């Protein structure tokens, strides 16, 4: 069980080193520990070691395991990092503190309605399909700036930042640089980019949060 706490401490050390290497202030980068597919017994040592922000990619899976952990550790924050169906928007607004996967207008509208109804305001990110890959979710790069503006103007949503997952078999730097440029153009501050294989590169390109799963928790059986 101490294995996941060790993985967590190693990753936070690597984040601090990458911040220093990029001449960014210590603590500039937030770690979202991606706990999808892992059970409470694997997650708990990481919370006990000090981590408070966790990422999940499925609403239903998160509903199954997090309410009990949140009762035990009330200051835990949850980020939804996977695709959202509009019929799950209410559940997502109720459970998550951030929703990083806004990828179409219908979801923006559904979230706006639920946030109004529930009086809860999770932090919101627009997901950009930065490599324009047909199998991936996200707004095409060329439409991202206008989409953020529509989220604000049409749906009244405060968009905090942009999120992306670069293509697996390419060097990620140019994709991270493009996401940073789009964020500047859209007038948003936050950049959620970088996973186990590339978070140090993402930090060099300005990531404000990194989403790291397997480097902390080990390999996943599925998901
Ligand atoms: C699973 C997942 C991650 C974490 O991936 P690792 O390679 O295990 O670090 C990050 N972001 C998203 C959107 C994911 O689905």
pLDDT at 1: 44
- Distance CA(159)–CA(100), nearest Å, equals 10
Instruction: Give the confidence band of 36 by pLDDT, cuts at 50, 70, 90.
Output: very high
pLDDT at 3: 79
Torsion of Cα atoms, 99 then 103 then 109 then 114, to 10°: -20
Collapsing DSSP to helix, strand or coil, 172 comes out as coil
Q: What percent of the chain has pLDDT over 70?
A: 98
Residue of 15, 103, 195 best suited for mutating to test ligand 1, as the one with most atoms within 8 Å of CB: 195
Mean pLDDT of 24-40: 97
Helices (H), the chain: 2-21, 40-48, 59-72, 89-95, 105-118, 141-153, 173-186, 199-204, 214-217
Mean pLDDT of 157-166: 98
Task: Give the residue, by CA position, lying nearest to ligand 1 atom 10.
Answer: 211
Report which of 173, 175, 174 is spatially closest to residue 136, judged by C-alpha positions: 175
* Residues 91-135 pLDDT 10s: 999 999 999 999 999 999 999 999 999 999 999 999 999 999 999
How many A from CA of 154 to the centre of ligand 1? 31
pLDDT at 2: 58
Q: Which residue has the higher pLDDT, 2 or 197?
A: 197
Predicted TM-score of the model (pTM): 0.97
Is the pLDDT at 83 greater than 50, yes or no?
A: yes
Give Rg (Cα) of the chain. 17
How many A from CA of 213 to the centre of ligand 1? 6
Is the pLDDT at 222 greater than 70, yes or no?
A: no
pLDDT at 58: 98
């Amino acid at each position: 069980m101490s294995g996941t706490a060790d993985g967590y401490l190693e990753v936070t050390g690597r984040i601090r080193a990458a911040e220093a290497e990029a001449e960014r202030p210590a603590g500039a980068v937030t770690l979202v520990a991606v706990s999808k597919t892992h059970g409470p017994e694997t997650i708990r040592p990481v919370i006990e070691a000090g981590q408070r922000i966790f990422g999940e990619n499925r609403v239903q899976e998160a509903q199954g395991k997090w309410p009990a952990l949140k009762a035990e550790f009330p200051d835990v924050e949850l980020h939804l990092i996977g695709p959202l169906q509009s019929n799950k928007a209410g559940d997502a607004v109720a459970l998550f503190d951030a929703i990083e996967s806004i990828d179409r207008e219908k979801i923006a509208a559904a979230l706006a309605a639920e946030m109004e109804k529930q009086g809860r305001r999770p932090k919101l990110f627009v997901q950009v399909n930065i490599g324009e890959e047909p199998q991936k979710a996200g707004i095409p790069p060329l439409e991202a700036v206008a989409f953020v503006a529509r989220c604000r103007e049409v749906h009244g949503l405060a968009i905090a930042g942009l999120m992306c997952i670069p293509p697996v078999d390419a060097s990620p730097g140019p994709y991270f640089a493009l996401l940073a440029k789009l964020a500047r153009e859209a007038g948003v501050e936050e950049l959620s980019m970088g996973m186990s294989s590339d978070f140090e590169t993402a930090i060099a390109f300005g990531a404000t949060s990194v989403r790291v799963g397997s480097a902390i928790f080990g390999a996943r059986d599925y998901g």
